[in-house]
Chain A
Amino acid sequence: KAGVTQTPRYLIKTRGQQVTLSCSPISGHRSVSWYQQTPGQGLQFLFEYFSETQRNKGNFPGRFSGRQFSNSRSEMNVSTLELGDSALYLCASSLGASGVGETQYFGPGTRLLVL
């Protein structure tokens, strides 16, 4: 079974631009979560989507948004990019919505550099 895929793998943008990242979950998985990872910090939770609905949202500004499609693929958008948005963006899929014992499987991430 194919794992979680993310595109693009690398991205360079300039301040003020916007960016869209894509995540395709493992076949049959209906939940997708997004995280931001920066050196020295733990994974910071952005949001979780399940069955096209946002279930949970982390403490990020409104510039960060996402959506999920009927085939469970998910996109994340960041508008008006700032230098501090440079990070590795990871998505993780799970069979069901986040809950006791629900394991998340991660994609390789998209490394975003904002200049």
Chain B
Amino acid sequence: DAGITQSPRHKVTETGTPVTLRCHQTENHRYMYWYRQDPGHGLRLIHYSYGVKDTDKGEVSDGYSVSRSKTEDFLLTLESATSSQTSVYFCATSSGGAPDTQYFGPGTRLTVL
């Protein structure tokens, strides 16, 4: 498996607090992605990055921001967590080749009380 780690793996927080999730890769992949997965919705793209400091919105970006200051790290921030952001968050990377393959991290289970 590609070297993708996520931290923390589990987090419980309260409504209104800021939360930052970290994704770290050792594959030197150009592209990085943040998804959330909820029952009945499958995987939905929140934000993605196509290079250092280059990011763009995905399908469900409201309430989230991202940053990528180094190739290996992609941070997802919930500015002010809400209960609707309780979910499992997955980071993924890909090289951007053709064909391409995404490699996923182990996930972070976030609970907002």
Asked if A pairs with B, the answer is no
Identify the B interface with A (CB < 8 A): none
Interface residues of A (CB under 8 A from B): none
